[in-house]
Chains A and B, each alone.
Chain A
């Protein structure tokens, strides 16, 4: 018996071990959005198959919805049509929808936790690779494709081969100002973007236990950029405190029953993993990506690497291509690179703690001339909370745009894009070629680094901002 957090949660969902060797797993929560949901329901309708458990699917709009103040649906006819189609479909199927003006709309991976739909020990799927975010609660959560989505709607199950397990142990305690984003970017930089392929990862160690839930979500969110479609943190009192009182979370005696069960989930002292990795984080600095893969990471006071020092020809070629696309030269200091855009948002870093941290840095300062800076809160709840705290005023006074919730410029599905040839510091999760728009250059970083970069007009750490005064 492996006795890991992952195996315990997996086993609790195994309906059958299929002759093929795959497991048939129960799906506790299916989160749906317009970009992949609409077509999946059309496929079901064509095949005359009903939705098995409409009460376990939850829909919202995030990918193609407009983020303009006052928006009702999309910015274009096609996106508005897609949103209206999903509205009709969920009404027809009896699926709960968190619509634009429900006060609960937002990025699926932000609203799941804040509504208490995401709980420890659940199995959660969604047609979006960043579903790994929900692993922060000790759930098994992963992104699925369109065909699997149809399967989930039809059967409330999914066929999966059990992945291998990996525990990543963070040694040491990070210095002041080091965020969950820095921990995970550093890890991807050290291990590489395919290190987690084929594994379900558990993040462990005192530095992880010390993180709040939102930082754990940021950490788990980037598991897929490490190659792992599942990344988890064992539930603890911090998790239970977060869950307590949320709209869809269990209450009273059922909550106590659930917590008693959740306390049995963490990996035992005798747990064995297929792979164990240790990483020392006691000396790391704020991290930022320089290239076109999340593994292209440097410390904020570091320099752009020299491909000539890479002995493997394939890897060297990859570095050269990345440098060309990013218009950078080997040896160049990353904190001297000028930026055109700053984007604070996405399922990685658009929660209230992210906005508080960024707002604290921009308060009383102003975005550098020539820089366009956006804040896109992850959900209506985050937006309203920020407005109650006056964070929106701090951003607006500093020259940021304050927008409506959605995926926005992380992926550009709704038309929110970085123009060709422009450079953006982004709190999102992917710096792929063209990810934020054709020809756009992306540098991934924490909300703190994004805020400092907006003010100074170049990639910058909060420390550099302080020294400016």
Chain B
């Protein structure tokens, strides 16, 4: 997994509540494209007009936001479908961190699997950051210090679970880590086959 330590750049605001993963990447793209091909299709319904040209009113088509590294979202960001391609699409577009009052649970987990930093802050703080983003301020996100810094707001601290912080900072490979404790899984299954035999009777 990719590590996250810090990033510095523009932040774009998409402040509607309940931005679902269907909006971030459509089902046809998931079904027919591969990882590495999603960037042009992130938020496609809003990003393009009916004829296929860019929608000039959409934030991610405007300067400097088309180069955004940070996305500022509303409540329940990434709700809905478990499609990890929503995270891949954002990542391929260039997004490294998201700031929102809350996230869909599955989307949040998927962010952590891909080195995309999901920052949770109270709504008022998110609004203040959105105001700074509107002025095209440069954001500096530092996971080591757990701070977001902008010229007008100074340092804003955020909380993140220590386990998530460590995993992101180190870019740990969960599969390799779990395979390293294989004997514990073996032992669990041996015990469990006695306690709950029906779980394993799948022939």
Contact = CB atoms under 8 A, between A and B. Distances in A.
B152 interface: no
A56 B30 CA distance: 26
A56 B45 contact: no
A21 B76 contact: no
A55 B202 contact: yes
A227 B76 contact: yes
Interface stretch (A151-159, A173-181, A274-282, A378-386): A151-159
A122 B199 contact: yes
A21 B17 CA distance: 30
B178 A20 contact: no
B190 to A, nearest CB: 12
B198 A119 contact: yes
| SS of B interface (majority) | helix
A209 B94 CA distance: 49
B181 A16 contact: yes
A431 to B, nearest CB: 10
Interface residues of A, number: 81
Contact of B185 (A155, A161, A438): A155
A248 B196 CA distance: 15
Interface in B171-188: 174-175, 178-179, 181-182, 184-185, 188
B125 interface: no
B45 A49 contact: no
B178 A159 contact: yes
Interface stretch (A255-263, A361-369, A387-395, A458-466): A255-263
A17 to B, nearest CB: 11
A197 B105 contact: yes
A18 B172 CA distance: 14
A229 interface: yes
B24 to A, nearest CB: 11
Interface stretch (B63-71, B140-148, B161-169): B161-169
Nearest to A22: B163
Given A197-B76, A250-B201, A413-B27, A430 B82 contact: no
B188 A145 contact: no
Contacts of A430: 20, 22, 80-81
A432 B104 contact: no
A419 interface: no
Interface in B72-101: 74-76, 79-85, 87
Contacts of A129: 80-82, 106
A433 B161 contact: no
Contacts of A15: 184-185, 188
Contacts of B76: 193-194, 197, 227
Interface stretch (B3-11, B52-60, B107-115, B131-139): B107-115
Contacts of B79: 193-194, 227
Interface residues of B, number: 61
Contact of A438 (B1, B32, B45, B203): B45
B32 A16 contact: no
Interface in A106-132: 117, 119, 121-122, 127-129
B159 interface: no
Nearest to A438: B45
A333 B23 CA distance: 28
Given A78-B31, A254-B197, A21 B45 contact: no
A434 B26 contact: yes
Nearest to B86: A145
A16 B23 CA distance: 37
A75 to B, nearest CB: 12
Interface of B: 1, 15-18, 20, 22-23, 26-28, 30-32, 34-35, 45, 74-76, 79-85, 87, 102-106, 109-110, 113-114, 161-163, 166-167, 174-175, 178-179, 181-182, 184-185, 188-189, 192, 196-203
20 contacts: A16-B181, A20-B162, A20-B163, A49-B179, A52-B185, A55-B203, A64-B31, A129-B81, A151-B178, A154-B175, A155-B179, A155-B185, A227-B105, A248-B202, A254-B201, A257-B198, A314-B15, A314-B16, A411-B27, A413-B30
Interface of A: 12, 15-16, 18, 20-22, 24, 26, 28, 35-36, 39, 47, 49, 52, 55-56, 58, 63-64, 78-79, 82, 96, 117, 119, 121-122, 127-129, 142-148, 150-151, 154-157, 159, 161, 163, 193-194, 197-198, 224-225, 227-229, 248-250, 254-255, 257-258, 261, 293, 295, 314-315, 317-318, 321, 411-413, 430, 432-435, 438
